[in-house]
Amino acid sequence: MSRIPKPTVRRLAIYYRCLERLEQQGEDSISSKALAQMVHIKDSQVRKDLSYFGSFGRRGIGYDIRRLLGEIQKILGIHKRWNVIIIGAGNIGQAIARFKQIEKHNFQIVGVFDTDHRKIGKQITPGLVISDMSSLEEFIRQNQAEIAVIATPAEAAQSVADRLEKSGIKGIICFAPITLNCNIPVEYVDITVFFKTLVHSVVSQNYNI
Amino acid sequence: MSRIPKPTVRRLAIYYRCLERLEQQGEDSISSKALAQMVHIKDSQVRKDLSYFGSFGRRGIGYDIRRLLGEIQKILGIHKRWNVIIIGAGNIGQAIARFKQIEKHNFQIVGVFDTDHRKIGKQITPGLVISDMSSLEEFIRQNQAEIAVIATPAEAAQSVADRLEKSGIKGIICFAPITLNCNIPVEYVDITVFFKTLVHSVVSQNYNI
DNA sequence: TAGATTGTTAATCGATTAACAATC
DNA sequence: TAGATTGTTAATCGATTAACAATC
């Protein structure tokens, strides 16, 4: 449908982060040039990114921070609350469940699931207890969960994804090291890939050129 | 120096992941077409990516999995052990410290640091105890740490990065939501950004088109 | 008015893909 | 030999950047 470059969407989330900080610091407007400097890109990139969605600035003046925060919220779809479930209560699943920043950004963790009976029933945070995977489908419907985090081992990930998709989950964040076959949007986060690409930059010293 | 597209490096790490699984399954060769299908890209992309570094396949046959694993190891720089320290023993810092996959991939967590005196001295895993930030520089030298993970709040991240760079750290994985000013390679991992780009795909349904 | 900064177009740059000769 | 598959070139596609008229 809309032809928005993926890098543009990612940068929008990063502008949002900067604008939040600026607002907190009491600023009320900023130029594309200043914003660009904060994230080490060109000012024309900032303006181009925003121009896909409208004209939010004032020539000669810059952008109103409050206004721009609101616009980016609407563009990204983070003006509303999203209910999130986590599949896999291992190391990563539990860390995400406890991660305060996520809730601060309008993503509410409503459930955590695992197959390990020693984990089921354990409280992760006040009001958040690990549930049995067998109750997954029912839980999704009853709690209107829309986003799921897959934090299972790779072997389990595809069958979990199938169940999620079938139950009406609309998007997946996948921490498992595998490419999923499914028809809803997926964001992949393989922590080990970041380590590997980092050391490639280190050994080839090409990060700056 | 070398002109390797960043996406190529990232994909190399992903091919590596597939090849590991295939090797484990007892396979010993694979074509670019089959590998491409596993990660939902074009086969010419796989061949192009590899061709930046050499000719590792056999026409008519495909790629030897063992051989290709070894070549990618050398390209990425993961054939050697890397010593890693973690700054910030909060939620994310501790999860990374406990994350087995990282050690499996030749990254050894040798130290974890925090400024909170209630945390210092606490054992995270057998042999890994939270240290005081004041011992950072000495520790880096004595343990030949080369890679650092910044898992502090955003406000602390820049000054931590400055100290790391000055102490000879060669690359940084930054979980703090901020763009750092520094002269060594940095990989940014902002978990909330993945959630935000995901919901943009969900609301705009443009993920597939 | 002069200076600053946007929004947008056109030019440039870089990455992906198709195509095919080489070769197993 | 026929079929499969690589390595590489050229064509295409998409994203970034420069430039500048519009306008605050």
Q: Are residues A130 and A183 in the same domain?
A: yes
Cβ <8 Å between B99 and A92: yes
Q: Are residues B38 and B99 in the same domain?
A: no
pTM of the predicted model as reported, rounded to 2 decimal places: 0.96
Contacts 24+ apart (CB under 8 A), B23-29: B23/B65, B23/B66, B23/B69, B27/B65, B28/B64, B28/B65, B28/B66, B29/B61, B29/B62, B29/B63, B29/B64, B29/B65
Residues B146, B97: Cα–Cα separation, whole Å? 16
Q: Are residues A102 and A177 in the same domain?
A: yes
What pLDDT digit, counting tens, does each position of A83-105 carry?
999 999 999 999 999 999 999 99
Q: Are residues B43 and B145 in the same domain?
A: no
Classify strands A62-64 and A57-58 as parallel, antiparallel or unpaired. antiparallel
Residue of B nearest to A203 (CA): B77
Both tokens of A119, joined, read 């984990």
Mean per-residue pLDDT over chain A, rounded: 96
Residues B113, B108: Cα–Cα separation, whole Å? 15
Instruction: Tell me the nearest-neighbour CA distance from A125 into chain B, angstroms.
Output: 12
What pLDDT digit, counting tens, does each position of A130-183 carry?
999 999 999 999 999 999 999 999 999 999 999 999 999 999 999 999 999 999
Domain-located, residue A203 = no
User: Does residue B196 belong to the interface with chain A, where contact is any CB pair within 8 Å?
Assistant: yes
Domain-located, residue A205 = no
- Of A58, A76, A94, at which residue does a domain stop? A76
Report how many domains make up chain A: 2
- Show the beta-strand stretches assigned E in A37-142: 57-58, 62-64, 82-87, 107-114, 123-125, 128-132
Footprint of strand D on the protein (CB under 7 A): A 5-8, 41-42, 44-45, 47-48, 58-61; B 31-33, 43-44, 47-48, 50-51, 55-63
Domain-located, residue B207 = no
- List for chain A the helix, strand, coil content (%; round to 5): 45, 20, 35
Paired with A186 in beta bridges are: A172
Domain of residue A108, residue span:
82-192
User: Does residue A185 belong to the interface with chain B, where contact is any CB pair within 8 Å?
Assistant: yes
User: Does residue A131 belong to the interface with chain B, where contact is any CB pair within 8 Å?
Assistant: no
Residues A178, A119: Cα–Cα separation, whole Å? 24
Domain-located, residue A51 = yes
Residues A102, B205: Cα–Cα separation, whole Å? 22
- pLDDT confidence bin for B3, thresholds 50/70/90: confident
Is residue A96 within 8 A of residue A149, CB to CB? The reply is yes
Predicted local distance difference test score (pLDDT) of residue B207: 54
Cβ <8 Å between B205 and A95: no
